[in-house]
Amino acid sequence: AAAEAAPVSAGPTVETLRESWNTLRNKVGERNKVLPAMLSAATVHDVRGHVVVIAHGSPVLGARVTQPHNAAVICEVLAEMFGGTWQVEYQEGAPTAPAASSAPKATEAASRPAAAPRFSRPSQERAAQQPKAPQPQRGDSDDIPPPEAPDYPEDPGPAPAPEVDYEATPPAATPEDEDEMFAEAAEPADPTARRDPEDVAKELLKDVLGARRLES
């Protein structure tokens, strides 16, 4: 009788991929410098065999991550880490895990009043309790007006700004350029401030792709 075929590996679980997500991002960064920033707000929503379904706070960035040139890099890293042939899909509207709050707690010491100073010798305590002698008043030298300021030439002011042709058509951006601009906008300058992914996507659609809001 013919030997039975070996069962196909079911692949890692959702929990395993979520725990390995930072490692996956680091390995992706070795192949693509822009993609890890776009994956920072993405989470693993589901795993079906060797198909990983991701969720993202911004539909625009979520769809961008799963474009062929980006999905190929993610699938290559998944195959390196877990074996097999992988596919990456984006589930629009899937919930993302809430980010843990990193705000430090206020210490109780800040609300306590300052303690009175302690002295090692009685003479120091008596000296601290004695009123300070009044400062001698200054003479009439303070009444002397200061010398007049020298006569400097008038400030011509800033040079006029060069004229900008707002009607000129901007050069077409490549997919790599657009990915880089998406990634830069997704990461705030202040690490403690987190921008709304929807606001980031709207700004990029307006600035990069020239989209305009439809008036009702």
**Residue 120 reports pLDDT greater than 70:** no
The partner residues of 51 in beta bridges, in order of sequence, read: 48, 87
The DSSP annotation for 94-140 comes to ---PPPPP-PPPPPGGGGSPPPPP--SSHHHHHHHHSPPPPPPPP-G
Confidence of residue 124 (pLDDT cuts 50, 70, 90): low
Instruction: Report pLDDT for 116.
Output: 62
The partner residues of 47 in beta bridges, in order of sequence, read: 52
> What is the model's pTM?
0.48
Extents of the domains making up the chain: 14-90
Instruction: Report pLDDT for 25.
Output: 94
Q: How many Å apart are CA 138 and CA 142, to the nearest integer?
A: 7
Q: How many Å apart are CA 73 and CA 52, to the nearest integer?
A: 13
Model pLDDT for residues 44-83, shown as the tens digit of each residue: 999 999 999 999 988 898 899 999 999 999 999 999 999 9
Most confidently predicted of 34-48, 131-145, 153-167, 170-184: 34-48
Helices 68-82/21-29 angle, 10° precision: 120
More confident residue, 100 or 57: 57
- In this structure, whether the domain defined by 14-90 belongs to CATH 3.30.300.180 is answered with yes
